[in-house]
C-alpha cells in the first residue's frame, strides 16, 4: 500500500463528515443544542482483512466522535449530543460479496431503525447488532493472539475473501 491507495476516497470518508460538522457546529454552540451523528462501522473498532483504507477511515470517525464529545463536555455544552453508529456489514452494493460465518448481513432498514433509536435515547455509541458490543469490549481486554483467534473463529478474517463491493467513483469520473 502506498499513499495513493489512501487518496481521494479515504480523504472523502475522513474529511467530508468533518467539514459537515464544521458547517453546523457553530450554530449548535450558539444555541447550546443539537445532535451530531457519525456513521462509522464495526470496522472502526476492529481491523478487517482486505479493508485497510476503509477501517482506517472508520477508526478516524470513531475517534472524531469521541474527541468531539469530550470537547463539548469540557466546554459545558451538555445539550449538544453525539452518537457514533457502528454497524456490521450492511446489505448494500458497497459490501457485495462479503460473507458472514456467524452474524447475518444487516438490512439497511434495521440499521436505520437502530440509529434513530440511538439518537432518540442519546446513546453515545450504537453497535449493530448489539451482541457485537461484547466483541468490542473483549478486544480491549485480550492480547493480540486472543483477539486474532476471536476474529478467525467468527469468520471475520475470511469475510472479505469473495468481496467485490462497489468501487466508489472519484470526483470527475
Active site residue 88: no
Check 54, 88, 89, 148 and give the catalytic one. Answer: 54
DSSP state of 156: G
Catalytic residue set: 54
Amino acid at each position: 500500500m502506498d499513499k495513493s491507495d489512501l487518496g481521494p476516497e479515504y480523504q472523502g470518508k475522513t474529511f467530508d463528515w468533518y467539514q459537515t460538522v464544521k458547517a453546523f457546529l457553530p450554530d449548535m454552540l450558539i444555541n447550546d443544542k443539537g445532535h451530531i451523528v457519525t456513521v462509522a462501522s464495526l470496522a472502526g473498532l476492529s481491523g478487517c482483512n482486505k479493508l485497510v483504507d476503509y477501517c482506517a477511515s472508520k477508526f478516524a470517525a470513531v475517534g472524531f466522535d469521541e474527541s468531539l464529545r469530550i470537547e463539548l463536555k469540557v466546554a459545558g455544552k451538555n445539550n449538544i449530543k453525539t452518537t457514533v453508529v457502528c454497524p456490521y456489514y450492511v446489505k448494500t452494493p458497497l459490501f457485495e460479496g462479503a460473507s458472514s460465518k456467524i452474524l447475518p448481513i444487516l438490512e439497511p432498514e434495521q440499521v436505520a431503525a437502530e440509529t434513530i433509536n440511538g439518537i432518540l435515547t442519546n446513546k453515545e455509541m450504537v453497535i449493530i447488532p448489539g451482541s457485537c458490543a461484547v466483541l468490542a469490549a473483549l478486544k480491549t481486554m485480550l492480547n493480540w493472539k486472543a483477539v486474532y483467534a476471536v476474529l478467525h473463529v467468527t469468520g471475520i478474517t475470511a469475510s472479505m475473501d469473495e468481496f467485490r463491493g462497489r468501487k466508489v467513483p472519484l470526483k470527475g469520473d
